[in-house]
Amino acid sequence: MLADYHIHTELCQHAEGKASAFRARAMDLGMPELCFTDHVPNPDGYDPVNRMRLDQFPLYRTMVADLTRASQPVVLFGVEADYYDGCERFLQDWLPRQEFDLVLGSVHYIDNWGFDNPDERHVWDSVDVTKTWATYFDLIGKLADSRLADSRLADVVGHLDLPKKFGYRPSDRDLREMAQPALDRVAEAGMAIEINSSGLRRPVHEIYPSALLLSLAKERDIPICFGSDAHRPEEVGWQFDASLALARSAGYTHAVQYRRRQPLPYALPTL
């Protein structure tokens, strides 16, 4: 069983369940380890309805730390940090002081548009889809280039092709052209990408990233890890058999686990 490195908790205001319930589900599945990656607090006012407040962060830390005593599954402490222009203003002092095992870096907004928010889906009908994706990949490149103190902002790019969520996509040719420079920057930063099975629960019915993007990542030797993006305990490890099959078909033989933000390769199970 693969480790699940993308798990939210009720603290983000749009998930259900305390950390203990997610861990119990992972234990039932025989999962070796899981990492909590709830949405980072952004006291600058960014998207306040989808995250814990800064004064709730100690509660998050304690809720996860309380689960680390038992040996199986191993419980890791992480966060999903949004990348947006200016996010470093808060993160540069705050994030390096936390003792995270893993920082996922994700892009959920283009300007003030939450492009993956079902309530804002209609905006897709009035934008140039290809240009929107190009802007998105520019932001992924900036995420990869971003440094806080001496280290990279994030270790892993979350749901690399999130804009496909509702089925709006560029041509494969345009996708390649815009994704390759971004993936070059991801590789340069030493970041990994996650194989995020939550796309199978969305209108697109497809894992993030697509087989095409994963093959471009493999060409650059970009490491992978696995995430369900669980917002409810029953979503832990969601369709990880499909995620493993996708990784294997792209030619991956290893994934990475993290401790204190350091990657460690491990061999993938056979199908």
Other residues' Cβ atoms within 10 Å of the Cβ of residue 215: 14
Judged by CB under 5 A, which of 229, 235, 252, 256 binds Zn ion? 229
Task: Count Cα neighbours of 17 within 13 Å in the Cβ-side half-sphere.
Answer: 18
Q: What number of chain residues touch Fe ion (CB under 5 A)? A: 3
Using CB under 5 A as the criterion, what x/- string covers residues 157-186 for binding Zn ion? -x----------------------------
CA distance linking residue 175 with residue 187, whole number of Å: 18
CB 39 within 8 A of CB 78: no
Q: Is 246 helix (H, G, I), strand (E, B) or coil?
A: helix
Judged by CB under 5 A, which of 106, 196, 228, 257 binds Fe ion? 106
Q: Which amino acid is at 13?
A: Q
Piece in contact with Zn ion (CB under 5 A), picked from 8-16, 58-66, 173-181, 261-269: 8-16
Phi, psi of 90, rounded to the nearest 5 degrees = -85, -45
Interface with Zn ion, residue 10, by CB under 5 A: no
Piece in contact with Zn ion (CB under 5 A), picked from 113-121, 123-131, 146-154, 223-231: 223-231
Piece in contact with Fe ion (CB under 5 A), picked from 18-26, 129-137, 143-151, 229-237: 229-237
CA distance linking residue 19 with residue 79, whole number of Å: 13
Using CB under 5 A as the criterion, what x/- string covers residues 182-221 for binding Fe ion? ----------------------------------------
Nearer to Zn ion, 118 or 265 (CB): 118
Q: How far is the CB of 149 from Fe ion (least distance, A)?
A: 24
Tell me the β-bridge partners of 264: 257
CB 152 within 8 A of CB 145: no
CB 229 within 8 A of CB 8: yes
Q: Give the residues lining the site for Zn ion (CB under 5 A).
A: 8, 158, 229
Give me the residues that bind Fe ion (CB under 5 A), please: 80, 106, 229
